[in-house]
Amino acid sequence: MPSQRLGNRAPANEQGALQVIPVSASTPNPVFAELASDEQVAATQQALNANNIETVVVDSAAEAREYVLSLLPEGPRSTWAPRAHWTRSD
């Protein structure tokens, strides 16, 4: 059976154990360096929708940020994760 690379897991070594490839913030994973094709995005969106997961596709990071911020209620709010702090810029 041919081995396949899945995420950060490399194929099994000679003893059959999976090898983990360490990836740090300073060493980006080249697998994610290219944008997905329109066909890949459409196929992923279709699969998610088929499993009752709503999807929204936007054209840029700025549009994605604005969309996510539009989902947050206006006014003060508390957060359980101190580092995950979203604020509206307008």
pLDDT at residue 1, rounded to an integer: 41
58 to 18, 38, 52, 63, 83: CA distances (angstroms): 36, 12, 19, 6, 25
Question: CB under 8 Å to 57, separation ≥6 — which residues?
Answer: 41, 45
pTM, two decimals, is 0.48
The pLDDT tens digits along the chain (90 residues) read: 444 444 445 555 666 666 666 666 667 777 777 888 999 999 999 999 999 999 999 998 899 999 998 988 877 666 665 555 556 655
pLDDT at residue 42, rounded to an integer: 94
